[in-house]
Amino acid sequence: MQLSYDLNRASSLLLGIGYLNAGYKINNDTMAFNTSINNGMNYLTASLGMALRQQFGKSNYISEKFGFSFNYELGNSTTDTFKNQETGTRFRIIQEQQRIWNALGFVGVAFGGNTEGGNRYEFHLTYYQPLNTTHGLRVQHSEFFSGEFPLTFKGGNLQIGINYYFNFGNFQKTEEYFYD
């Protein structure tokens, strides 16, 4: 859910809360089968930002948005082990959680317009860049998992979406009375 408060005709303050499912996939292309490990993570997210709009035409506009987002990871333990298969495992990942809260900066672009009723719609593309690492990953391979190399997971993501903003100015108290 995202709220937009218009500061003036060309700029808005953006406030948002939501749910995000992110994750990673690691492939080992030296194996013939069961070559990948997938893992997903769930986050509650809150964002604060600003949008700058340029009108072109009567009701259409292009908008740039930027700001910060804060993610809180749900339901993962501090250390997990993921294997490419249960029997005859050829490689595994040991995932160590480094922080539950993650701060991200975001930038995006949106194309939209206004309806006759004063509502607004947008089609947007937004990139979220993490400011820190959330998980350390140790990829272990070879016989008895004697080979190892480190990776990190930050949680950056690209989001494509549609927003529809209702103009609360349309919900006004009226002095109309109805009698039976």
CA-CA distance, 49 to 67, in Å (whole number)? 4
Nearest to 157 by CA among 2, 10, 14, 24: 24
Coil, strand or helix: which one is 74?
A: strand
- Specify the pTM: 0.77
Query: Is the four-CA dihedral 72, 73, 74, 75 of positive or negative sign?
Result: negative
DSSP letter string over 161-172?
EEEEE--GGGS-
pLDDT tens sequence for the chain (180 residues): 888 898 998 999 999 999 988 888 888 776 667 777 788 888 999 999 999 999 988 889 999 999 999 999 887 667 777 776 777 667 788 888 888 889 999 999 999 998 988 889 999 999 999 998 888 888 887 777 788 888 888 888 899 999 998 887 777 766 665 565
